[in-house]
Amino acid sequence: MSRFKSNSGRAFPLGSNCDGKGVNFALFSAHASKVELCIFNDSGSQEEERYVIRENDNNIWHIYLEGAKPGLVYGYRVYGRYDPAQGYRFNPNKLLIDPYGKKLVGTLIWNKAIFGYDIDSADKDLSFSELDSAPYVPKSVVVDDNYDWEKDVSLGYSLSSSIIYETHLRGATKLNPFLNDSERGTFAGFGDDSTLNYLKHLGITTVEFLPIHAFFSNRHKRGYIIDNYWGYESFSFFAPEQSYLSKGDINEIKDLVKKMHAKGIEVILDVVYNHTGEGNHLGPTLCYRGIDNLSYYTLNQDDRRYYNDTTGCGAGFNLQHPMVLRLVMDSLRYWVKEMHVDGFRFDLATTLCRTNGNFKQTSGFLYAVAQDEVLQRVKLIAEPWDIGMGGYQLGAFLPGWAEWNDKYRDNIRRFWKGDEFQIAELASRLTGSSDIFNHDNRTISSSINFITAHDGFTLHDLVSYNHKHNSANGEDNRDGSDANWSWNSGAEGESDNKVVEKNRMYRTRAMLATLMLSFGTPMMVFGDEFARSQMGNNNPYCQDNAITWITWEGINAKQRQLISFVRKLIRLRKKLKIFNRTKFFTGQMVDVQGCKDIAWYTEQGKEFIESDWHDGSRHSLSYLIKDAQGFIMAIFNANYHEIDWKLPSLSNKLSWNLLLDSSGQFAELSNIRSSKVIKVPAWSVLVFEIKGK
């Protein structure tokens, strides 16, 4: 006898939704011939009932179970053709999670049963597997969305006033000595005062979490034998990663967001809608592939057995399909409205905007986001590239979007490495990359300026290694980028040579200062503020260990000094209101005294002329910016030696006060007059505030 009385229910909303009297289930599939709803015990270990879903309105299969409550564990079995050569991969022997499921129970067990085909067959995915996958896959759980937010509201920081801190939730808290073991590496652990007070003390306004959507490993891909620690194999776009829940309650995320907002810190999620954990044609059948492979993925139209892959992860998610686009939009709105997050960073965003294989500003995704009143209130950041044809689209996203600026990253690295012919580009990168973003009324904060991120060397390793050292990844050091623009300062790896140590310290501080004194939106990666090392590994995607964890108790006195320096930098950036500007510089006169909004000066105290910009041996420059309060001048010296620098010949009534010396050699320098010659240390950044008397 059935536990619940069923009726047809409603086609919308999709997913499982409780109304207090029962639960409505709705699932999209355009090509299925039959769908069954499977009910499990609380642990998901035993299937107890099946309900045939008989209602199908416009490709939405739906059913209502009277008396069902939050906590009910379920999954789907979807019937239809199994003909991979034509793109059909239905297999009712495979239990499928709900694409709209907001919570999962159970873990994925890597067994041959999770594949839709017989993996032992010579025909591979053209064969058909009759093994039941239910014992080996997670199940969806009905949730109650009720939660007391206690008047929590979005902080609404502008990008121009934001300091973004990219971090891995698990890695940041796994070794936090103030946490209970059950809280380490979880939402609850990150929400502890020991974590949040540190970020508040540092001056961070916005935390960007690496993926927290439920994700699976890479092991279904040929050649991959270890898991993806970073989480870029997102699988459910609603359910959180189970291992990040200390007690299995999704309200832990809401508790974290609410507490971060109370501390004045925003939350941005790194989201991966460009592909899923099901991978390529040899991957498992866990959700989308078994529900409607033809709709959810971009197939190779010459041979539908295979996928069009612009991600390097096996298959691209098909946002050209209206219901797949709806899934992504519903997911984004859910995380804003129900979880109160403040924005998103979109992994491989170019793939989301492809129409018939090509990136289009008129894509359905970009237009859907542009008209959405919920998403217009949050931060939208694109990783503006993928690996497909025409995939590099830096600067091509619509107004309202910000973009990771890898040209900034590479130029700043090369300048502080001492490379030649970097000055002309440096001027643009310091001032918001107008050559890339100054169009369609985009703002100067459209450029997300970063020197390091999760992918690549840490800042410490950038000044400590000439080459990647990824042997721990098990891929013979073939993985990871070789274009790091790094310099080891004279010795590969850790060194006790005083000269090497001094150079590394100077360049580390100079790059951090450059980041905070550049126009655009600064983003730093967790641990750079105390010289965290990954021992030269520039691709630790699979390193769930001390290589990627923050070793809080191992932070020494020198590292604490660097933390204090970064805190000073952030406070300085916030103090100098000029960094809140939204418009790009013009280099034109802005007042009757003939002052320009920005001017560039050499060490002779003269403005740059054309030949200066093309002097490949030049390793220094300075900008002088006029604002309502006076002038700000920053000097950037990437020479191996100190240089004499003549301050510009401005009015003698102006007083030059040193606000920052990244090298730490000037204890105090104030009330200097124009035209004075000062010593600028090697590998350093100096900042002056110039006020009239």
Residues carrying an active site annotation: 347, 383
The residues facing 76 across adjacent strands are: 37, 96
Between CA 168 and CA 189 the distance in angstroms is 12
Placement of tokens 């999709």 in the chain: 14
Q: Is 582 exposed, middle or buried (0-12, 13-18, 19+ CB in 10 A)?
A: middle
Amino acid letter, 429: R
- Taking the CB of residue 71, how many other CB atoms lie within 10 A of it? 13
Three-state SS for 350?
helix
Between CA 347 and CA 87 the distance in angstroms is 26
The 3-class secondary structure across 52-106, one letter per residue, is: EECEEECCEEEEEEECCCCCCEEEEEEECCEEHHHCEECCCCCCECCCCCCCEEC
| Residue 463 and residue 507 in contact, taking contact as beta carbons nearer than 8 Å | yes
Return the closest-CA partner of residue 250 out of 71, 378, 76, 96: 71
Between CA 456 and CA 515 the distance in angstroms is 17
- Taking the CB of residue 610, how many other CB atoms lie within 10 A of it? 6
Q: What's the token pair of residue 429? A: 């990168």
Contacts of 594 (CB under 8 A, 6+ apart): none
Packing angle between helix 364-371 and helix 322-337, nearest 10 degrees? 40
Q: How many residues does the chain have?
A: 693
The residues facing 39 across adjacent strands are: 49, 74
Between CA 70 and CA 75 the distance in angstroms is 14
Return the closest-CA partner of residue 585 out of 601, 599, 602: 599
Upstream peptide bond of 13 is cis (omega within 30 degrees of 0): yes
Placement of tokens 């990437």 in the chain: 638
Between CA 522 and CA 566 the distance in angstroms is 13
Amino acid letter, 629: Q
- Tell me how far apart the terminal alpha carbons of the chain are, to the nearest angstrom: 89
Return the closest-CA partner of residue 429 out of 300, 289, 324, 584: 584
The residues facing 632 across adjacent strands are: 625, 689
Between CA 503 and CA 500 the distance in angstroms is 5
Contacts of 105 (CB under 8 A, 6+ apart): 42, 43, 44, 73, 138, 139, 141, 242, 248
Residue 645 parent element (H or E):
strand 643-646
Q: 162-183 in b/e burial notation, b at 16+ Cβ within 10 A?
A: bbbbbbbbbbbbbbbeebeeeb
Q: What's the token pair of residue 338? A: 């129900």
